[in-house]
Structure 1
Amino acid sequence: MFENLLNLVKENAGDAIINNTAIPNERNDEAISYASNSIVDGLREALVNGNINDVVSLFKGGNAVASPVAQNIHGGFVQSLMDKFGLDNNQAGGIASNLLPSILNKFISKTNDPNDKSFDLGDIIQKLSGGNGVIDIQNIISKFQGTGNLGGGLMDRAKEFFN
């Protein structure tokens, strides 16, 4: 999954990273890696923090850019670019805004396409949760399919992680 995501970012890095003078050519792969890591870290953080509904909403489609998970991914990537490349907020934000929406939309589309086996939802969730059984993968998948319980109070949502 992680390698497929990295390849997806590489395939779409064009103007945002590869043809961008703010990113030295010898560091293009590094910037691509930060973009991929930001996506993984943003999804993992949402799952670990119990924001399952936000992840479900992101993968169900709609406006991926406006979702809280996507905003967190964007912020993490911007911060990485500023920290690692010395870019200012506007430069880093421009790169993230040019790259992440298309990557997220393609990632979501591939995950939801039953004919595309490059990304499997169960595999993604298991790897993001560390595969340690803390997150009930079947329950989350059922939420993506519209058969799971999206409601409930905080205690109900917390119970999902320990059952």
Structure 2
Amino acid sequence: MWEQITQLIQQVSQQSVVDNPAVPNEHNEGVIGEAKNVISQTLGNLAADGRSDEAAEVLQTPGHPAAQQMESNFATNIMQKFGINPAAAGGIAATLIPSILSMLRGQAGQAGGFNIQQLIQQLGNGNVAATLSGIGVKMGLDKDGDGDVDLSDLTRMFR
């Protein structure tokens, strides 16, 4: 299922990332990977917190507040990690994240597509990194305020 989602993200990312002059070519894969990370972490954290219904709503409801938070986190992350200017990062996030979620909605309804509930279950039960990151955020370890605990937070702890 994740391979299918990764392929979907690659397809949607072509115009917003790869063909975008604001994203240096050497960062294309990193920016695309960050989109996948933000989506999986947000949905995984909701599922791990026992809010699977809300995670499913994010995939089924355009403009859901958690989807808007994904956009914000994604924009912040690509600014910090890849040096993309704020206006470009905001524009990329505003088109890429909703497009990916829309494609996920469309794929879920097709024969041979994936099951939203199965995806949420995998994220909540199988995504240990997202679960641990969610716990770290709750413990105040998210030093850069991007909604996850990663190497960036670790380096900020020692500054």
Q: Is TM > 0.5 for Structure 1 vs Structure 2?
A: yes
Give the aligned residue type for 2:112.
D
Contact 1:34–1:80 (8 Å) recurs in 2: yes
- Do 1:78 and 1:93's aligned partners in 2 also have CA atoms closer than 8 Å? yes
1:74 to 71, 74, 77: 71
1:127 pairs with 2:122: yes
Structure number having the greater helix percentage = 2
Q: Structure 1 residues 43, 7: closer, same or farther in 2, change over 3 A?
A: same
Query: What is the CA distance between 1:49 and its match in structure 2?
Result: 3.0
Over the residues paired in the alignment, what is the CA RMSD in angstroms? 2.0
| Partner SS state of residue 125, structure 2 | coil
Deviations 1:70-103 (A, max 9, x none): 1122122112211111123222111111211111
Q: For residues 121 and 100 of structure 1, do their structure 2 counterparts lie closer, same or farther at Cα, with a shift above 3 Å needed?
A: same
Unaligned ranges ≥5, structure 2: 128-159
| 3-state SS of 1:116 partner | coil
Task: Give 1:25 deviation, angstroms.
Answer: 1.2
Which of 1 and 2 has greater Rg? 1
**For the residues of structure 2 that align with 1:51 and 1:126, how far apart are their CA atoms?**
11
- Among 79, 90, 93, the alignment partner of 2:90 is 93
Give 1:30's aligned residue.
Answer: 30
Counterparts of 1:127 and 1:53, CA distance in 2: 14
Please say if 1:14 is aligned against 2:14: yes
1:12-34: CA deviation from partner (whole Å, max 9, x where unpaired): 11221011112111221111111
Q: Which residue of 1 aligns with 2:148?
A: none
Q: AA paired with 1:87?
A: I
**1:84 — aligned with what?**
81
Is the CA contact (8 Å cut-off) linking 1:54 and 1:68 kept in structure 2? Answer: no
How many residue pairs match? The answer is 127
- The gaps in structure 1 that reach 5 residues or longer are 133-163
- Written as runs of structure 1 = structure 2, the 5 A alignment for 1:50-69 is 50-59=50-59, 61-62=60-61, 64=62, 66-69=63-66
Report if aligned partners of 2:9, 2:36 keep a CA contact under 8 Å in 1.
yes
Give, in angstroms, the shift of residue 116 of structure 1: 2.6
Distance 1:22 1:42 in 2: 26
Partner of 2:155: none
Percent identity over the alignment?
Answer: 31
Deviation at 1:67, TM superposition (A): 0.3
8 Å contact from structure 1 (residues 17, 28) kept in 2: yes
